[in-house]
Structures are given as C-alpha cells and as structure tokens.
Amino acid sequence: MRCVLRVEGTPLSQGIADSLTSQTLKSICTNLTLSPRKAYGKYVKLTAMEFPRWLLPAIGAGIVLLSLILCGLIASRLLLAPPAVEDPQPPPTSADPPTQSPQDAVAATLAALTAQAPTAPPSSTPRPEPSGRIVYTCQLSGQSDLNQICLMNADGSGFRRLTTADSADHLYPTFAPDGSSILYTSNVTGDYDLYALNLAGGSAERMTTFGDAYAPAVSPDGSQIVFTRADGETSSLWLMNRDGSNARFLVGQAWDAAWSPDGTRILHASDRTGEIQLFILTLADLTLQQVTDQPGLRGRNDWSPDGQTLATYIGEPWNREIWLFDAAGGPGRQITNGGNNLAPGYSLDGHWIVITAYYDLYRDDNGCEIYLIRPDGSDLRRLTENDYCDWQPSWGP
C-alpha cells in the first residue's frame, strides 16, 4: 500500500505543508499503518490502498486547530512579556553631553536667569558714625567771661582741657586743616588777640598784637588766616599769612567768616543791606554775592565739605533753629525744631553737623551743651553733659 497526501497550494495549505517535518509525516503514516514516501517539500503525496476518506477532513481540521493554538500561545507570550530594559548608558563625556528631560531643562534655565539677575541692594545702608575730633569753648568756671578751650572725640569721649589760664578768657576755637594745631582768641595778655596751640605740646603762640581779633579760620591750604576785627562799634574781615604776618583789611561790615572748601571764597554775615544776611566774598576780585534773604539771621555759619550747602542759625533768643541753604542762593530749609540751636559746623565727611543747643536744659543760662545732628534733621545726639556751658564747637580731623 502507498500513503499519499496531497496538500493543495492555497496559502493556508502551503503554510501547513511548510510546517510538516518527516517526523510528523512518519507519525501520520504509522497511525495509518503506512510508511512515508517523501519527508520534505511543500507538496507531499501519500497513497493508501485502504485509507478512509472521511479521515482526511478530520486530520486537516486538527492540523488547523493545532496551528491556531500555537499562534495564540505565541501572541499571548508577546503581549504579556515585561517591557525590555534598556542597556545602561556609559557616563557622558565632554564630547557626548548628557540629554536633559524637559523638566530638567526648565529648571536649568531658571537657575541661569537667577544667577544672572543683579543682586538687590540692601533695604537700608548703614550711615557713617561720627569720626574725628571736636574743639569747643567750655565754661569750666561757670563765669561767662572766663571760658576755656576743650577737646573731645566726635563721639563725646576723650575729654581734654587745652588752655590753662584760669584768669583769662578763651573763645572761638578752630582746627588748622591738618589737625595739628588749634587757633583761638584769648585775652591772656589783656587784649583779645589770636593764638595758635600745637596739640603735640608746647605753649601757645601769639599770632596778633593789635587787639580786637576774633574768630580765626585757616584756609584749606593752610597758608592764610581770615578773622574778624571788632571794636564794639564796627566789625570787618581781615586776612593775614599763616604765621601772622601781612595782616590786611578785606571787607567791612562783616563777621564770622568761613572758607569755601576750595579756598577761593569766604562766607560771612553782614548787615550791609539792612538786615543780617549771608554773603560770599570772592577773593580773586573781591566781589560780593548775597545768598540768603531770610529774617532773623545771626552769624555763625559753615560750608558743607562739597561746597554745595551753607549752614547757619536763625531766630530770636531761645527760639533759634538750624537752617541749610543752597550755596548758589534760594530758599532754605529748617532741620531743627525747638531746643534753641546755635553755631552749626559740618563734619569733615558731611554726614553730621555739630551744634550748641539747650534741648535738655531749656532756658537755663548754663544749659548749653554740644549736640550732633544729621543734615536731614535726624539722629540728634548729646555729646556733653555738664553743669556749665559748652559752646562754639568746631569739627576737625
């Protein structure tokens, strides 16, 4: 007998034929008690003398069912398999920059913008504390005609008495620009003349001998001294060399002189137009410029270190206030309110003004003390606290 199986060349039949091996054919033919004639190929013939025809459809259906089961198993394995794990990447090199996620990129951009943004300034900048020294008139004896010259640090510490003649009067102290000496007025010889005292030691040097010399002020370059001559009836400004030589008249009806920071002009008080006002004298041509038009001015005044502002005091006795004016002229502004304030003087850095005032002992004749205030009127500080009068302060290095 021959076992013959012909698989037609339809796509389905070809797929079944391709899946048959010689072992499969052998198994089929053995079950049919047949032997394979050909084990390989797309088309296989099996011939049987006694082969039931009804068995052929059953075998074909079984083969199709088996194929479908195998395909289902394969598909389910693919669907249920865990996701593939990527191979770990080697660390990036300078030639192979790392990739960033969108979130990382945004974070990096924000960080870069923050780093480039300018740092915000502090909410408040600390203002300088007072520095340098202050020389002033101190009424140690309690008598108004027996004053002395005293010195202290700008914070009120380091008190030092400079003059020693208890029976003489000493007034109007001021620093030389280099801070090495003090100039002042004294009647230690009978007349009021100008003296210079070296702070490193030694006796005072008499600078004038003609009397009635008051309120000296040394030029910024240290070469000249301007001062007031007053005989009780008239007052005028005079100029002389630093050593006291070549004293000469400068301008009449004037007192309380202060040098401009550049040494080319002299601020002073005068009643030459009727009421007392502040004037500026230009030394090059001796021209005068009135810079205030304010009732009640007194005299004692000072320039700010930058030359832009003038300080003076205004008002009737016991009601005097500190005022600031533009050096070019114009209305001023009041920076104190009460306390009977007098004789302002700028610190060397311009951040403070030293004054005489009666804040704590108002209307007490011996209640005048030395205070500090800022040019904006804030931070009032008391420096002296005595049972006698401290007045006429002047700031120096």
Tell me the backbone φ, ψ of residue 95, rounded to 5 degrees. Answer: -90, -10
- pLDDT > 90? residue 83: no
Rounded CA separation 44/26 (Å):
12
Rounded CA separation 321/388 (Å):
22
- pLDDT > 60? residue 302: yes
Helix (H, G, I), strand (E, B) or coil at 225: strand
Tell me the backbone φ, ψ of residue 185, rounded to 5 degrees. Answer: -110, 140
pLDDT value at position 77? 54
Torsion angle defined by CA atoms of residues 235, 239, 243 and 244, in that order, rounded to the nearest 10 degrees: -40
Please check whether residue 195 is in contact with residue 181, taking contact to mean a CB–CB distance below 8 angstroms: no
Rounded CA separation 279/256 (Å):
11
Helix (H, G, I), strand (E, B) or coil at 73: helix
**Lowest pLDDT segment from 84-98, 255-269, 295-309:** 84-98
- pLDDT > 80? residue 380: yes
With cut-offs at 50, 70 and 90, classify the pLDDT of residue 63. low
| Burial label, 332 (beta-carbon count in 10 A; 0-12, 13-18, 19+) | buried
Residues 6+ apart with CB under 8 A from 135: 149, 150, 151, 162, 173, 174, 175, 182, 393, 394, 396
With cut-offs at 50, 70 and 90, classify the pLDDT of residue 201. confident
Mean pLDDT across the stretch 182-189?
98
If one compares 135 and 4, the residue with the highest pLDDT of the two is: 135
Task: Copy the structure tokens of residue 159.
Answer: 């008190």
pLDDT value at position 101? 53
- pLDDT > 90? residue 359: yes
- pLDDT > 60? residue 383: yes
Helix (H, G, I), strand (E, B) or coil at 93: strand
**Helical segments of the chain, H only:** 11-19, 22-31, 55-80, 102-116
Task: Copy the structure tokens of residue 216.
Answer: 């000296």
Rounded CA separation 226/238 (Å):
6
Please check whether residue 193 is in contact with residue 206, taking contact to mean a CB–CB distance below 8 angstroms: yes
Rounded CA separation 365/215 (Å):
22
Task: Copy the structure tokens of residue 160.
Answer: 């030092």
* Percent of the chain clearing pLDDT 70 (strictly above): 69
With cut-offs at 50, 70 and 90, classify the pLDDT of residue 167. very high
Mean pLDDT across the stretch 271-300?
96
pLDDT value at position 126? 87
Mean pLDDT across the stretch 389-397?
98
- pLDDT > 50? residue 84: no
Mean pLDDT across the stretch 60-80?
58
If one compares 8 and 271, the residue with the highest pLDDT of the two is: 271
- pLDDT > 50? residue 47: no
Least Cα distance to 286 among 334, 261, 251, 260 occurs for 251
Q: Which helix (H) or strand (E) holds 214?
A: strand 213-218
- pLDDT > 90? residue 195: yes
- pLDDT > 80? residue 174: yes
- pLDDT > 70? residue 333: yes
Mean pLDDT across the stretch 136-160?
97
With cut-offs at 50, 70 and 90, classify the pLDDT of residue 203. confident
Any idea what DSSP says for residue 96? Answer: B
Task: Copy the structure tokens of residue 79.
Answer: 């669907």
pTM over 0.75: no
Give the model confidence (pLDDT) of 238-252 as tens digits. 999 999 999 999 999
pLDDT value at position 138? 98
- pLDDT > 50? residue 18: no
pLDDT value at position 59? 57
Output the average pLDDT for the chain: 80
Least Cα distance to 218 among 311, 135, 299 occurs for 135
**Lowest pLDDT segment from 85-94, 148-157, 354-363:** 85-94
Domains of the chain and any CATH numbers = 11-77 (no CATH), 133-396 (2.120.10.30)
3-17, 24-38, 358-372 — which one is most confidently predicted on average?
A: 358-372
pLDDT value at position 232? 86
With cut-offs at 50, 70 and 90, classify the pLDDT of residue 72. low
- pLDDT > 70? residue 76: no
Helix (H, G, I), strand (E, B) or coil at 50: coil
pLDDT value at position 99? 45
| Burial label, 206 (beta-carbon count in 10 A; 0-12, 13-18, 19+) | middle
